[in-house]
């Protein structure tokens, strides 16, 4: 798996053993995955089932994006989790809906996404 580049910053993405100490989040709770801003590393447990991997990766990428947008210090951990959950659960749906409405891919700042029409 290659690096994740967000706002020009390179984040490593690695699979780790389920007991990895880095799978403890900033509130002290064990997680299936974490995004560590100090090392710019997303760690995803090898225990994450294949059918959930993309969802978990997208969730952690949302945390990384919030870090790179410099908003995490403004958010409570619960609010940050809610935003990451929303992005993980609805980002693709929203982009695809706008893409379908426009009849073309959606482009923002030169980045195009959505389904080809």
The residue extents of the domains of the chain are 4-113
Q: What ranges make up the beta strands (E) of 1-117?
A: 4-6, 9-16, 33-36, 41-45, 106-108, 111-113
Q: What is the DSSP letter of 36?
A: E
Per-residue pLDDT reduced to its tens digit, 42-100: 999 999 999 999 899 999 999 999 999 999 999 998 999 999 999 888 888 888 888 88
Say what the pTM is.
Answer: 0.82
- Bridge pairing between strands 4-6 and 33-36: unpaired
Angstrom distance (rounded) from CA 105 to CA 80: 28
The mean pLDDT value for 28-37 works out to 92
According to CATH, the topology of domain 4-113 is Arc Repressor Mutant, subunit A (1.10.10)
């Amino acid at each position: 798996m290659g690096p994740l580049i967000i706002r020009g910053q390179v984040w490593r993405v690695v699979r780790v053993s389920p007991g990895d100490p880095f799978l403890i989040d900033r509130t002290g709770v064990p997680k299936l995955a974490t995004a560590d801003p100090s090392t710019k590393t997303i760690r995803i447990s090898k225990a994450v089932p294949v059918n959930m991997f993309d969802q978990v990766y997208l969730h952690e990428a949302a945390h990384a994006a919030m870090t790179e947008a410099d908003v995490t210090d403004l958010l409570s951990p619960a609010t940050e989790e809610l935003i990451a959950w929303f992005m993980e659960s609805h980002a693709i749906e929203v982009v695809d809906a706008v893409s379908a409405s426009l009849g073309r891919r959606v482009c923002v700042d030169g980045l195009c996404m959505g389904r080809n029409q």
